[in-house]
Amino acid sequence: MTSVVPVSEGLWSRAAAVLGAVVLALAPGVPAAADPTPGQVESQINDAWNALEPIVEQYDRVHAQLLATQARIDALRRRIQPLQMQVDLAMARVGAMSARLYETGPGSRLAALLNSGSADTVVDQMTTLDELARRRTAEVAGVAVLRDRYLAEKAPLDALTAQLAVQDAELAARKRVIETRLAQLQQLRLAAYGTARGALRPVPCPLEYLGDRGSIVAKKACDAIGKPYIWAAAGPNGYDCSGLALAAWGSVGVTLGHYTGWQWLAGTPVTRDELRPGDLVFYFRDLHHVAIYVGGDWVVHAPHPGDVVRMTHIDAMPIAGYRRPG
């Protein structure tokens, strides 16, 4: 059964502290020794987002687990429903048999014997009713055992759903706080740079096109350039980082989970020298960011809220490793 990973309070506290400090430091009117350079502003914003993105990925994982568990419960419910109908029908039949047996109790049976003139006829009728009742009871027992087995399977899934729903709601609430604060950061970024987007496609994208499946993936990622970063989205109107990888590889029939940790485990390890268009490049020790390689040491990624899908150099962030899905 899927395990529930508790929401990290330490992670949230550190992220909130970093973001609050950056917003305060960059806020207009705060005394400073000198106005920060654009590079310094970018560095501080990146620090804030790197503290926050693990929470985004945690939300993606929990939300995906919740949807998968709900799907399993729905499947079990569809299997339980006809079994319950069989139990109800069988119980109704047993009830009818019991009523007939009651009606043919000792007094009624004697009257039937006197009226029929044949003891054998009455005995045969009573024996038939008894046998039918036993069969119906056995039917009820068999179907009920199967129904109860499915109900037993469903019970822990119900409990898991409740836990995941609590985490999902908690992370969604934190998401709203993060998005509000990141919007403040983007306003500060606009003030520092004059634009929040810069050059989205500094070189042809993909820079290498080999005509293979990975190149199709790379082209799909390139086609998303300019689309907004949307938390927990996998297109077509916006993406987060793992959602972009999911959609790009989904275009060639490869299924990836909507979580960087799952995508890391789903791919075959490759070295930097072996990189081909479409390969996934993971960043930071906790793997909280992923990009799609498009050739020539360039990647496409969804950076953070307030920004858009864009190209960047492969070494723009600390690399954790490389994977080739499929």
In whole angstroms, give the CA distance from residue 293 to residue 278: 5
**The pLDDT of residue 209:** 80
**Is-contact 264 284, C-beta < 8 A?**
no
In whole angstroms, give the CA distance from residue 301 to residue 297: 13
For the full predicted model, state whether its pTM sits above 0.75.
no
Per-residue pLDDT of the chain (326 residues; tens, 9 = 90+): 455 445 455 655 655 565 565 555 555 554 444 555 555 665 666 676 666 677 777 777 877 888 888 888 787 778 777 766 766 666 666 566 555 555 555 545 444 544 554 555 545 555 555 665 566 666 666 666 766 777 777 777 777 778 777 877 777 777 777 667 766 666 665 565 454 445 788 888 888 887 788 999 999 999 999 999 998 899 899 999 999 999 999 999 999 999 999 999 999 999 999 999 999 999 999 999 999 999 999 999 999 888 899 999 999 999 999 999 98
Residues whose CB is less than 8 angstroms from the CB of residue 140 and which lie 6 or more positions away in sequence, other chains included: 87, 90, 91, 94
Phi then psi dihedrals of residue 268, to 5 deg: -85, 130
* 313 is a catalytic site residue: no
**Is-contact 165 66, C-beta < 8 A?**
yes
**The pLDDT of residue 113:** 43
In whole angstroms, give the CA distance from residue 317 to residue 277: 19
**Is-contact 234 290, C-beta < 8 A?**
no
- Domains, the chain: 9-193 (1.10.287), 213-324 (3.90.1720.10)
In whole angstroms, give the CA distance from residue 171 to residue 177: 10
Give the residue among 244, 259, 241, 233 at the shortest CA–CA distance from 61: 259
Question: Which candidate in 258, 288, 289, 304 is catalytic?
Answer: 289
| Three-state secondary-structure class, residue 105 | coil
Question: Which candidate in 241, 258, 288, 304 is catalytic?
Answer: 241
